[in-house]
Structure 1
Amino acid sequence: MSAPKRIFVLTGAGVSAESGLGTFRDRGGIWARFDPMKLATPEAYAADPDTVLDFYDHRRRGVVAAKPNAAHVALARAAARLAERGGELFLCTQNVDDLHERAGSRAVVHMHGELLKARCTACEVVTPWRDDLNRASSCPACGSVGRMRPDVVWFGEMPMQLDTIEAALAEADLFVAVGTSGAVYPAASYVRQARALNIPTCEINLEPSDNADAFDEARYGPASTALPHFLAALDL
């Protein structure tokens, strides 16, 4: 099979699981052990900022310590090869880690934000941030103290860059979802949008997702092996 010219890839927590970062909705995942309504909503942050910030500090340390795996590397390599041929791999991730970038991917669209960035709720300036956040943290831009939060999308908030994502999906000639649960919207709706546009679709996952029936094709197994094999079949 030859490579399409424009590939839209959506990645989820399953891509980073083999790097030691926990998934969210699997059995034993993060939301099976913690109540997201107490840790991942604007209301939770307003009511108990210390607990919320501590939770994200722990996750941030995990991201800093993690390393990209073969799935991250394969996507970066495929994007570079496709670009050499005049094509494009549009990489949209639900993940808040930076493992795609560290593997060499460029212009990654983080629809749920980035954990290694902090946003000031006073001035809205976003700043790279690798250290812990607490109520003594001050904004480098405006100097406000106690107004910094992780630059991630919480429940009840709008995902980022939706217009950019939908425009790229409309131009794609292959849609691939890797390591996604198929349970989080709007990302879970993208496969059906692709199908409505007659774009071929493929799911690459450890096991069938909640919306597995919507895909034309499926490859099941660890992302670090299933994804490189799929891309190799496309000569990428």
Structure 2
Amino acid sequence: MDDIERAVEIISRSEYVIAFTGAGVSAESGIPTFRDKGGLWERFPAETFGVPSGLLGLLFYQPSRLSEFIKAVVEVIERAKPNKGHIALAELEKLGILKCVITQNIDYLHQEAGNKEVIEVHGSITRLRCIICRERKTIEKKKAIEMALEFAEKIKSIDLSSIIEKGEITLEEIKEKFGGSLPVCDYCGGIMRPDIVFFTEPVQDLDIAIEKARRSDCCIIAGTSGVVYPAAYIPQIVKMNKGTLIEINPNSQCFPSDIYISDSFANAMEAIARKIKEKVIN
């Protein structure tokens, strides 16, 4: 019995299967991982572009560079489509086998593939969050892309010299300067920002993810090297509770997995889902 067959047997007899996914699954849809060679962090250093304080500094002192970064991120997300692996996970959820996807990705590809139960621990481009009252608002992916591109264009032409000289800015001044390119909270009137997690910020819905992991007797791991914590604790929690780890990674094994499949996410998950569907039909 090969590793695919073993994975199919374990998934089929498990009672609470979850999936834990990272940037590698989106890389197969055309979104380069930030860390790998050729990724965005090579062009845009994480210590500046990956933290709120760095982005704010760019807005005031290097708006064209910030605009370039926003457009680069939006461009790859806009053209990316769910791959065969995304679709396979959605099919397993429809069969009632997969209970949820816990993802570190912000690109909304799991939902576009058809998954309904998705926990996005690093946030999502389809949500906004008020910087004052923290109220969240869900928007369509297309709208999020349009807003990001509008903001990227706007900041190149805004004169912030008076604010820099003064050393402070009010909420009303921000609204006046940026106009309609910044969304406003319906509840308190504050400025809304993308509801995504930058470095130094806490992850989202970790308590829900941990609760799912504790219930799980089988976790499918795909597209992650397990170096980003606390999210990387999720498979470890499953393992500590005597659950089975099935890891799909074409590069190397990164977790203490019971089954390691050295293949692409798309190929492996499509094969697993196909064989499971055949078992269900028969």
Asked if Structure 1 and Structure 2 have the same fold, meaning a TM-score greater than 0.5 normalized by the shorter chain, the answer is yes
Distance 1:3 1:31, change over 3 A: farther
2 CA distance for matches of 1:173 and 1:45? 41
Aligned 8 A contact 2:184 2:192 in 1: no
In the alignment, what sits opposite 1:25?
A: 35
Aligned amino acid, residue 130 of structure 1: I
The Cα offsets for residues 18-45 of structure 1, whole Å up to 9 and x where unpaired, read as 2111112223322244311111112112
Is the counterpart of residue 131 in structure 1 residue 146 in structure 2?
yes
Give me the TM-score of the superposition, normalised by structure 1: 0.87
In the alignment, what sits opposite 1:71?
A: 85
In the alignment, what sits opposite 2:24?
A: 14
Give RMSD over aligned pairs: 2.3
2 CA distance for matches of 1:28 and 1:233? 35
When the two structures are aligned, how many residues end up with a matched partner?
Answer: 229
Larger Rg: 2
**Percent of aligned positions that are identical:** 30
Secondary structure of 2:270's counterpart equals helix
Is the counterpart of residue 175 in structure 1 residue 219 in structure 2?
yes
Secondary structure of 1:48's counterpart equals helix
Long gaps (5+) in structure 2 = 1-8, 156-177
2 CA distance for matches of 1:177 and 1:32? 26
Structure 1 or 2: more helix by fraction = 2
Long gaps (5+) in structure 1 = none
1 CA distance for matches of 2:15 and 2:66? 43
The Cα offsets for residues 129-151 of structure 1, whole Å up to 9 and x where unpaired, read as 23233362232434858x44321
1 CA distance for matches of 2:196 and 2:124? 6
In the alignment, what sits opposite 1:205?
A: 249
Aligned 8 A contact 1:117 1:126 in 2: yes
1:23-172 pair list within 5 angstroms = 23-49=33-59, 50=63, 51-52=65-66, 54-81=68-95, 83=96, 87-127=97-137, 128=139, 129-133=144-148, 134=151, 136=178, 137-142=181-186, 147-172=191-216
- Cα offset for 1:88? 4.4
Give me the TM-score of the superposition, normalised by structure 2: 0.73
The farther-off stretch of 124-133 and 36-45 is 124-133
2 CA distance for matches of 1:190 and 1:151? 22
1 CA distance for matches of 2:55 and 2:94? 40
Aligned 8 A contact 2:129 2:135 in 1: yes
Aligned amino acid, residue 225 of structure 1: N
Secondary structure of 1:25's counterpart equals coil
1 CA distance for matches of 2:275 and 2:81? 26
2 CA distance for matches of 1:55 and 1:144? 27
The farther-off stretch of 129-138 and 150-159 is 129-138
- Cα offset for 1:94? 0.5
Secondary structure of 2:147's counterpart equals coil
Aligned amino acid, residue 117 of structure 1: R
- In structure 1, which of residues 212, 218, 222 is the aligned counterpart of residue 264 of structure 2? 222
Aligned amino acid, residue 17 of structure 2: I
The farther-off stretch of 136-145 and 220-229 is 136-145
The Cα offsets for residues 159-187 of structure 1, whole Å up to 9 and x where unpaired, read as 10011000000001101111112111112
